[in-house]
Each structure stands twice: as C-alpha cells, then as structure tokens.
Amino acid sequence: MNIKEDNNLAKHLDVFKEIGNIGAGHAASALAGLLNKRITMSVPDASVVSFDEILGVLDGPETLVAGVLIDCAGDLNGYILLLLCMKDAMSMVAQALEETERDVTDPDFELTDLEQDTLLEISNILVGSFLTAITDFSGLSAIPAVPQLSVDMLGAILSIATIEYGKIGDSVLFLKTQFNDLAGDVNGHFFLIPDYNSYKMLITALGLDG
Amino acid sequence: MAVLVVGMADLKVAKAPDTLTTLGLGSCVGITLFDKKNKIGGMAHCMLPTYKGFEGQNKAKFVDSAVVELLNQMVRIGASRAGLVAKIAGGAHMFGKSQNNDLLKIGERNAAAGLAVLKQLSIPVQANDTGGTHGRTIELNPETGALSIKTVGLGTKSI
C-alpha cells in the first residue's frame, strides 16, 4: 500500500472524500441529537501528505490534542484515529454537557471522568457514522471496538498513524472534517489506518482497481 | 547558537553551543549519542525497530540503521568513536488501555531495538526514559550531554 505509488490516487481520494461526506451527514444528525442543536458537517478535503507536512497542517508537534483510536475488525482490519484540537474537543463537550467552556491553556487543565466519557461518546458517534458509510459503500464488514482516548502532544498521538504508514512510505492519508453551526467552526481529522490487505480489498470493493 | 530540529524519521549531528531537539515523541524512539571530549552530539527520531525488510528506504526511520548512520556522521565531524555514550527516550504506549497487539506495542519494540543496537556497538547507555503512556519532547545539549525531557502534565526533567 505505497499510497504515493497508487496510480489512481486522485480518483481514490475523491471517493474517500465522497464516503467521508456521507459519513459526515449521518454523524451530523446523530450529533445534533446529542448536542441538541442543528449542525452540519462536511469533508472538504481528503489528502495524502508527508510526515513533515502533517505536523504543520495541525499546528505543530507539541500542540495539545485529543486523540481517539478505534480498532476495527471484520473484512476490513485496522484503525481509525480521530484527532481534535483540545479547544475544539472541549467546545463540543461543553455544549453536550451544557457547561461553560473551560480554558484548555490552564497548566492544571485535566479532563474530568464525565468529560472523558462525553468526548468518547461524541467520537464514537463520529467514527461510527463514518465507518457505516464505508461499509455501506463497499459491502465489506468492519466492526468497531471500544474507543480509547489519549490527550497529549500531537506528534506523540499521531505516531500511531505515521508508524503504520511508515512501513510503506513517508506519507499518510487523512480526511479533514469541518463541523459548523457550533459556537464556532470545529475541525476534526480522521486518519484511516487499514492494514495492507484491507486497503487492497477496499479499493477493489469500491470498484477502483480498474 | 542554534537549536537544530530533528523531524520524524530524521537524524542530525551538532557541535556545542548548538543543541538538538525533537518534538512530540510518542511510540517513536529518540536516541542520542554524546562525545564529551569534543562536545559533539547526535540525535535520531526513529519509527520502526529494524531496517531489515525495508532496504532502500530512509535509514533514519529505523532504529538499527539510524544509530549506525548517526555514529558515522558524528565521527565524520570529529567525534571520537571510543568516547561515545548514549541516552534514549520515547517508545511510549500512547493508547495504554488497548489490547495487546503489534501496532500498539511498537513503542516497546522500538526501545528494545535501541538498547540492543547500542549494546552491539558497545556504546554505554547512560540514561533510559522509555515506556509509559505519554509523549515527550527532548533536547540534547552537546556542551554537557544533558538531555532534557518535557511532557504534558508530568513536568520537565533532565537525565
């Protein structure tokens, strides 16, 4: 799965973007219920970027982020990693809990158990909707496991994705997701980390290998 | 004096007063070499344990090939092979609660590969801050050999 050597990369990225948009549609309605607010979501960008660039796209390696990792098994095996910058993550949590937004730049800032659970639930909805779009489109199964949360430096969390992609090259596939109609715009980043066979299977199932 | 930034899958060497840093190490491992007499330092930020099976790729990405390349580059700018000591950091398990599997245990394997290759090259390991479930930013000062380690929520220390 050397993505840079994928001859039909542009076509594949368009399809991932399309799938992402369908997933985003499902996620928006589910999230609207949870946050009790109308929201829209879109995937404006699906791209393959180098390791150096990706850290820049997301405000640098030391930025505090919330990362949620979900293990998937079935016809498709691998991981989905969702990254939210801490401010955006807390903005969603505050709305779901109907609390005032907390200052994430406070050196003593720490998530409460309730906030962690809320963030995991939101991420679960986002990733689940996205995964449903992929399985609907491809007819392949992918059952998500319980999500895991880590709040730390961007570079450290992203290493899960870059190491796996590192086996085949120096770049990573990601989908930028935008949520609107919240207190402000919130950006999330999805990283698909399929294993080699799953990527090939997905490309075939989506009819993209011709 | 300059602070040289070592990227992901990258390695660099420096002479005092310049320093070397790499930001946000997670499951990757940071390996530093230091020559006290000549005040020369080197740092590698590696993602995977071994070059074997990945021949032709960037050597800095793999622990074993990166350490050998780092050693060669340091000797080339005047370091003494016999006087080198090492410090190692990173190799965390970022999603600590996850089940055991290859991808998530990669940090542990990276750290073990680092210690193994240093032993093979007879370079003494002076300090080891690997494992845990947190990220690290490290900075090596080739003037003193001190390696500072910064974390989120666990403070900063020097090893």
Cβ-based contacts of A148 with chain B (< 8 Å): 95-98
**What pLDDT shows up at residue B12?**
98
- Residue A110 CA to residue A170 CA, distance in Å, equals 33
Q: How far is CA B49 from the centre of its chain?
A: 12
DSSP secondary structure of A47-100? EEEEHHHHHHHTT-TT-EEEEEEEEEEESS-EEEEEEEEHHHHHHHHHHHHT-P
User: What digits encode the pLDDT tens for the residues A13-44?
Assistant: 888 788 888 888 888 888 888 777 777 877 77
Q: Does position B41 have pLDDT exceeding 60, yes or no?
A: yes
- Does the beta-carbon distance from B8 to A52 stay under 8 Å? yes
* Cα(A154)–Cα(A137) distance, integer angstroms: 31
Contact (CB<8Å) A155/B134: no
For the residues B8-35, what does the mean pLDDT come to?
A: 96
Q: Choose the catalytic residue: B11, B28, B123, B138.
A: B28
B47 contacts A162? CB cut-off 8 A: yes
Is the Cβ pair B137, A62 closer than 8 Å?
yes
ipTM of the complex: 0.90
CA-angle at A14, arms to A9 and A16, nearest 5°: 90
d(CA A162, CA A53): 12
Over 80: is that where the pLDDT of B63 sits? Answer: yes
- pLDDT tens digit string along B78-94? 999 999 999 999 999 99
Identify the bridge partners of residue A85 per DSSP, sorted by sequence position.
Answer: A65
Asked if residues A46 and A57 have their Cβ atoms less than 8 Å apart, the reply is no
In the block, which residue shows the tokens 């290998």? A209
Closest-approach residue (CA) in chain A for B22? A61
Interchain CB distance below 8 Å, A67 and B94: yes
Instruction: Let me know if B28 is a catalytic residue.
Output: yes
- Calculate mean pLDDT across residues A75-89: 87
Taking CB atoms and an 8 Å cutoff, what residues of chain B touch A154?
24
**Residue B55, token pair as written in the block:** 């021949």
Half-sphere exposure (Cβ direction) of A176: Cα atoms closer than 13 Å: 13
A129-133, A206-210, B67-71, B149-153: which range is least confident on average? A206-210
Q: How far is A25 from A133, CA to CA, in rounded Å?
A: 9
Q: What is the pLDDT of residues B95-147, one digit of tens each?
A: 876 655 666 789 999 999 999 999 999 999 999 999 999 999 999 999 999 99
**Model confidence at A46: pLDDT above 60:** yes
Once rounded to an integer, what is the mean pLDDT over residues A127-146? 85
Q: Are strands B40-46 and B29-35 parallel, antiparallel or unpaired?
A: antiparallel
Report the residue of chain A nearest B61, measured CA to CA.
Answer: A166
CB A115 within 8 A of CB A97: yes
For testing the chain A interface, which of B103, B106, B136 should be mutated: the one with the most A CBs within 10 Å?
B103
Q: What would the DSSP string read from start to end of B12-26?
A: EEEETT-EEEEEEES
Residues of B in contact with A69 (CB under 8 A): 95, 98
User: Which residue would you say has higher pLDDT here, A20 or A180?
Assistant: A20
Binning pLDDT at 50, 70 and 90, where does residue A1 land?
very low
- Cβ count near A3 (within 10 Å): 17
Test mutation, B27, B101, B152, chain A, max A CBs within 10 A: B152
Who among B28, B54, B152 is closest to A159 (CB)? B28
